[in-house]
Amino acid sequence: MALARPGETCWTRARADRVKFLVDGQAYFAALRDALIGARRSIHLLGWSFDPRVTLAPAPAGQDDLSPEIGHLLTRLVQDRPGLDVRLLVWRSALPISATQGFFPHRARGWFRRTGVDFRLDGDVPLGACHHQKIIVIDGRLAFVGGADVMPGRWDSPAHPDHDRERGGRWPPRHEVMALVDGPAAVAFDGLFRARWAASQDAMPDATPAPPADLQDPWPAGLAPDLANVEVAIARTLPAWRGEPGGREVAALSLEAIFAAKQLIYLENQYFTWPLAEEALAARLVEPNGPEVVLIVSENSPSYFDRLTMDRARTKALWRLRASDVYGRFHALAPYAEGGRPIVVHAKVMIIDDLLVRIGSANLNNRSHGLDTEAELAIEATNATERTAIAALRDRLAGHWVGRTGAELAAARSDGSLAAALAGLDPGRRLRPASARRLSAVGEFIADFHLGDPAEASDSWRPALRRRKLLAERRKLRQSLVTR
């Protein structure tokens, strides 16, 4: 049975003519700039945050008149192309958060006023929630989806140098992953954008009909796809509130995927606090022939609030899983640049064996599975070509942490263990065990009640209710394991 099933573990399935995996901001921003320049009908963006001052990439030869800053680029495109529909829908962030971002995206409203760019702030989420989907659709024919926002500090190369002039002096090394798709899959993502705009703003005009055959292909020139003519799945998280049932497809697919793994579960994520993922992984680790689990996370969260809340809950989860790891198959690793500076892991990736890859916006925490809005792309291999592409992405991602290619990593996996291969290729210890320090009584309280990490709208400001519900969900999952 397919892991991604519409109405259960995904929202919909659709065909993608081409798929490209974009590893780190350098590749993403360059491809995004080319796609924006190629837009002829529409540019639709959903984001957690947005800063129009972000430089995407140097202008290609012959396009020096187009500013590398995305705000100027969008306004110029609207001026030069009458009828180009440019809409940006970004979360109306709380002021303490926007204050750390130069009060963007709020200030972007003034930036785009009277430019023809329709910039809106989306506050149509439960109190304490955020709009977290990161999607950009070009002409309804090309879609970017993943974990990266168009914000300062998001650019980095796969080399992740300690300091990089292109990245900006004060920003730490940072890892992002996005996916690029076209064909019917892009149409589906545009439908998701349109639904969100209609729900939080106003009705949109109907989608334009299929483009004529001679309309320019918006796919970035020179960007070779990793897969062609493949079926993809789209999964979402939508909060249950105002009488709407919401949607937890991301959560359902996460658990389904963990239990489907045979040899390897590879994870890259900003957080690791979701009790159901912890419970499911613990169950797999006590199996004599269960899969190896490799989790790549930041050594510490970048913000003080997340270090106070998320990192403490992660500590308890890591202690539990290391205690459950009776066969030595659990490896939680934090990456460092070559000179020793910690790398911020902001990607949200799950790869199961060479069977399934998931790239999206959802963190492995409570709020990403019930409170915030999320979206992801999943590809479930159905043939040898697709399995090879998934394995190549996994090895490329894992290998780049230790400065090696995917091919070098694959060659080093003589005993099948990914963690052992990484250790053998890492004399400089760029991957180190993620810390799980013992907690104080206050830290234990924060972790037990998941302060700062609500599970859904009903417990957003009721931590005692949240704890009871999470404990009940864990018991229910344990009971379901008996019948698996």
In the numeric block, the tokens 């797999």 are attached to: 284
pLDDT score of 482: 81
How far apart are the C-alpha atoms of 347 and 334, rounded to whole Å? Answer: 13
Q: Which residues contact 201 (CB under 8 A, 6 or more apart)?
A: 89, 120, 122
pLDDT tens track for 318-373 = 999 999 999 999 999 999 999 999 999 999 999 999 999 999 999 999 999 999 99
pLDDT tens track for 237-284 = 999 999 999 999 999 999 999 999 999 999 999 999 999 999 999 999
How far apart are the C-alpha atoms of 398 and 418, rounded to whole Å? Answer: 8
How far apart are the C-alpha atoms of 343 and 346, rounded to whole Å? Answer: 9
What is the secondary structure of 95-129 as a DSSP string? Answer: HHHHHTTTTTTTTHHHHHTTSS-EEEEE--S-TT-
- Tokens, residue 213: 């055959």
How far apart are the C-alpha atoms of 342 and 330, rounded to whole Å? Answer: 21
Q: Which residues pair with 143 in a beta bridge?
A: 137, 181
The structural domains of the chain, ordered by start, are: 12-213+222-229 (3.30.870.10), 235-481 (3.30.870.10)
- 273: three-class secondary structure by DSSP: coil
More confident residue, 389 or 108: 389
Average pLDDT, the chain: 94
pTM of the entire predicted model: 0.96
Tell me what the mean pLDDT of segment 381-387 comes to: 98
pLDDT score of 483: 76
Closest of 152, 175, 176, 165 to residue 51, by C-alpha: 152
